[in-house]
Amino acid sequence: MTGGKKFFVILSLAQALAISGCGGTPPTTLGQFAPCPSSPNCVSTQATDEEHGIGSISYSANKDQAKKQLLKTILSSPRSRVVVDKADYLHVEFASRVFRFVDDVEFYLGIEDQVIHFRSASRIGHSDLGANRKRMETLRSRFIALAPAIQP
């Protein structure tokens, strides 16, 4: 295959992927805080191994204020969509910029321990090149930065 033909095939494939959305199917385990799979495209505050484990988000306000702050943080992120919003649980979809790969993020707001637990996982593929970990670390930083601005 010549260089020009190879380029055309790759470009056509990229366009087809972009048009199809690359969203994948939501996992059936949403709402259960399932353990991360063995693939490196998931992080969770419940995971105990170094590859998947990540620190939770602490809050000092009451649960309602913390949830308001969390939602404000989430909605300030590009390509985010809240799918489920319950009293102590959120399911949010984040889409990548180019191919619109979808990551599912679950949040659970603890009442007694004032901690937000989360799980962030890619729907498709094996590696996300650290995208889920980076997103969650960024969300944690933004949440903490918003803390003084959220009033009862």
Residues 6+ away with beta carbon under 8 Å from 132: 41, 42, 43, 103, 105, 120, 121, 122
Task: Read off the pLDDT band of 101 (50, 70, 90).
Answer: very high
Q: Is residue 116 part of a domain?
A: yes
> From CA 103, how far away is CA 96, in angstroms rounded?
8
User: Do residues 142 and 76 lie in contact, with contact meaning Cβ atoms separated by under 8 Å?
Assistant: yes
How far is the CA of 147 from the CAs of 4, 6, 17, 62, in angstroms? Answer: 53, 51, 39, 12
Q: Kindly report, residue by residue over 106-125, the tens digit of the pLDDT.
A: 999 987 889 999 999 999 98
Q: Is residue 102 part of a domain?
A: yes
Q: Is residue 4 part of a domain?
A: no
User: Do residues 43 and 130 lie in contact, with contact meaning Cβ atoms separated by under 8 Å?
Assistant: no
CB atoms within 10 A of CB 121: 22
Range(s) of the domain holding residue 33: 23-149
Task: Read off the pLDDT band of 97 (50, 70, 90).
Answer: confident
Structural Rg of the chain based on CA atoms: 18
Amino acid at 141: S
Q: How many domains does one find in the chain?
A: 1
pTM (2 decimals)?
0.79
The CATH number of whichever domain residue 81 belongs to comes to 3.30.310.80
Residue 131 class from Cβ within 10 Å (0-12 exposed, 13-18 middle, 19+ buried)?
A: middle
Q: Kindly report, residue by residue over 24-46, the tens digit of the pLDDT.
A: 787 777 778 899 999 999 999 99
